Structure 1
Amino acid sequence: MDTRSIQSEISSYVGRLLRDNFGKGPASVYVSLVEPYVTIYLKDFLAPMERVLVGKDHTRRVEETRDLLMEELIPDIKATWKATTGIEIKEMYYDWSLSNRSGVFIGILNTQSRMDEHLEDYEHKINIHHEVIQLSKKAEKPPENLESFMLNNRTLIVVRDGILVPIEKALIEAGHSEVLKLTKRNLERNLINQSSFEDILNTSIEDYFVDWDFQKDISYILFILKPKASGK
């Protein structure tokens, strides 16, 4: 199956899956496959009951419910993708922007491919890394390893390794991973809002998402960039 067919199959499946499990599917599903990553960007995805809760400032309750449901769905997603498209997902991450009614899934393919074999460095990469390091210092600690890749002209992914501080590791060991994740989501979102990423990239950021694998001490930040207007 070629890349375009895989992307189409994943888009259709994700739309059906979310509609069946949340009562409402996203209006749009955008899939990008660039080994070893597959990214799925969801737009206009907020069920009626969730809309009521968000409107009454119960965003955290919606996030907790979605996290519980995603724990159940991820094994099925991995199995279905392998059966229907032949691609094997090693890890999966996700995040929501409830205020924008959007969300993202990030799948890490089980492949030996390296990103630097596929993509060249993008403009302002050094400055982006500097900004990420400053953000990480405020939220936890500077990453021990930092990589970023422009998957396409609208999708920038940042990978941080080794950012957890001892108190966070202690909370994880004590079984408080969900509380820590929800807290860090809110903290890092606020820091991104205050950052200079848009100035550095010289374009507007339409959406951004953050997720972690606490056991591996790895984090992904995904930026959805607004297309630049073409000159007349």
Structure 2
Amino acid sequence: MQNRTMESVIASSTGKLLRDHFGKGPEALYVTVAKPFITIYLRNFLAPMEKVLLDIENEVKVQDTRDVLMEKIIPEMNTILSAETGEKMAHIYYDWSFPNQSGLIFAEMETEEPVTEEDYDYPARSMVHQEIDRITREAQKPPHALRSYMLNSRTLFTKREDILVMIEQELINSGFEEELRLTKRRLEKRLLNIGFLEAELGQKIEDVFVDWNFEEDTGYMIFILK
């Protein structure tokens, strides 16, 4: 019950924050607090001007505008999440699925409580890891470490470490972090064999979101299941 109350407060505060900055909030927010992870899934989140830009195939412009707004929002998000959970946030990430008019804001807490994959176990882990390892090898290099957590029946959270190749590191050092992030998002989502994952999980995949902490050479991929 306590987690549900916490999730409700986070959903309400996040919805207001997005409305204040974007002029329109999502029609629905689904919050999951499963320490040390928090996910906030946004449904039907697309402002009228963004829809116009997407209609003329200007997705990059929408991405750029949202990135500017999210840079302003993240400190406030940090305050909301820390106040409700009683934990500091290590990082806050986000990604969008414009075809589905959806998005995901997610965070990892700075908690000393140990968490293992077994705490969020699921039967298809080895096959999911096989597929994520495959696309990571194809796009970059084999991950040094790969972990995954089924936070609830609809949220599969995966984390990869040490995946950047030298050319990517040079692009980051040269100030092309944003361009690299957008390119990697498109590439990794395109490489995924969704049919294979759905068959192994026994569930349809509604959305896939990815983001990175380039400084720590860590990548996240989150699946929203039906």
Scaled by the length of structure 1, what TM-score is found? Answer: 0.92
Task: Show the 5 A alignment for 1:124-139.
Answer: 124-139=124-139
Spell out the pairing of 1:176-187 with structure 2 (5 A cutoff).
176-187=176-187
Contact 1:94–1:106 (CA under 8 A) maintained in structure 2: yes
Give the structure 1 partner of residue 44 of structure 2: 44
Structure 2 match to 1:23: 23
Local SS of the residue matching 1:111? coil
Check the 8 A contact 2:44/2:102 in 1, yes or no: yes
Which of 74-83 and 8-17 deviates more?
74-83
Task: Quickly say closer, same or farther: Cα 1:24–1:168, change in 2 above 3 A.
Answer: same
Q: Is the 8 A contact 1:131 1:195 kept in 2?
A: no
Deviation at 1:43, TM superposition (A): 0.2
- Tell me if structure 1 keeps the 8 A contact 2:41–2:103: yes
- Distance in 1 separating the partners of 2:141 and 2:118: 30
User: Quick one: which amino acid aligns to residue 47 of structure 1?
Assistant: A
| Residue aligned with 2:211, SS | strand
The 1:191/1:176 distance shift into structure 2, 3 A limit, reads same
Q: Structure 1's 194 and 36: CA in aligned 2 closer, same or farther, altered over 3 A? A: closer
- Indicate if the aligned counterparts of 2:117 and 2:147 stay in contact, CA closer than 8 A: no
Q: Is the 8 A contact 1:213 1:219 kept in 2?
A: yes
Query: Could you tell me which amino acid in structure 1 is paired with residue 46 of structure 2?
Result: L
1:2 is displaced (CA, Å) by: 2.5
**In structure 2, what residue type is equivalent to 1:73?**
I
Q: Which residue of 2 aligns with 1:171?
A: 171
**Offset of residue 5 of structure 1:** 1.6
Distance 2:119 2:45 in 1: 31
% identical aligned pairs: 46
Q: Check whether the contact 2:209–2:222 (CA below 8 A) recurs between aligned residues.
A: yes
Residue 35 (structure 1) aligns with: 35
Residue 196 of structure 1 aligns to a residue whose secondary structure is: helix
RMSD in angstroms over aligned alpha carbons?
1.6
**How far apart, in 1, do the equivalents of 2:167 and 2:84 lie?**
42
Q: Distance in 2 between matches of 1:87 and 1:132?
A: 30
What are structure 2's unaligned runs of at least 5 residues? Answer: none
In the alignment of these two chains, the number of paired residues is 226
* Larger CA deviation: 44-53 vs 62-71: 62-71
Q: 1:158 to 1:73 in 2, by over 3 A?
A: same
**CA distance change for structure 1 residues 152 and 85 in 2, over 3 Å: closer, same or farther?**
closer
Any unmatched runs of 5+ in structure 1?
Answer: 227-232
1:82 to partner: Cα distance: 2.8
Cα-to-partner distance string for 1:82-108 (whole Å, 9 max, x where unaligned): 345534222111100011000001111
Task: Report the equivalent of 2:13.
Answer: 13
Question: Superposed, which structure 2 residues align to 1:181-200 within 5 Å?
Answer: 181-192=181-192, 196-200=196-200
